[in-house]
Amino acid sequence: MRQKVTLMVPMTTPDGKVIKDDYGRPKLSAREVKARVQKTVRVIKGADGTEKEASLEVDLMPDINVVEGTEIQYKDVFDVLTKGAVIAVNESTNLAGTKVFFRTVYIG
């Protein structure tokens, strides 16, 4: 995993509550993590039948927990910034399903 992506995660208080701004939106803080990024065009079909197009496929380390809707930024070697939100998460596990090797997230 040679690339780096920036996760925009909500800021929390020590007791676990999300800090919000004056308009009720959560305040976000940037967190840079190692990843493997691949540009792809893939159609993801949701449980409700909606289809979304993913432009990036990002493999993250297993200790990084992301959910759908998390904002991610990626700057490639040509300084082109790609921003997007997570539209699907896929976990690669061992045969027993007890250990996660890496998480693949799709950005649309």
Domain boundaries, the chain: 3-107
Predicted local distance difference test score (pLDDT) of residue 57:
95
Q: Tell me the percentage of the chain whose pLDDT exceeds 70.
A: 99
CA separation for the pair 43, 86 (Å, rounded):
13
CA separation for the pair 37, 54 (Å, rounded):
13
Q: What is the radius of gyration, based on Cα positions, of the chain?
A: 15
Q: What is the mean pLDDT of residues 17-43?
A: 91
Q: What is the mean pLDDT of residues 75-85?
A: 91
Confidence of residue 1 (pLDDT cuts 50, 70, 90): low
CATH of domain 3-107: 2.40.10
Query: Does the pTM of the predicted model rise above 0.75?
Result: yes
The number of angstroms, rounded, from the C-alpha of 54 to the middle of its chain's C-alpha atoms is 12
Tokens read off for 45: 């079909």
Q: What is the mean pLDDT of residues 11-37?
A: 91
**Residue 96 carries which DSSP code?**
T
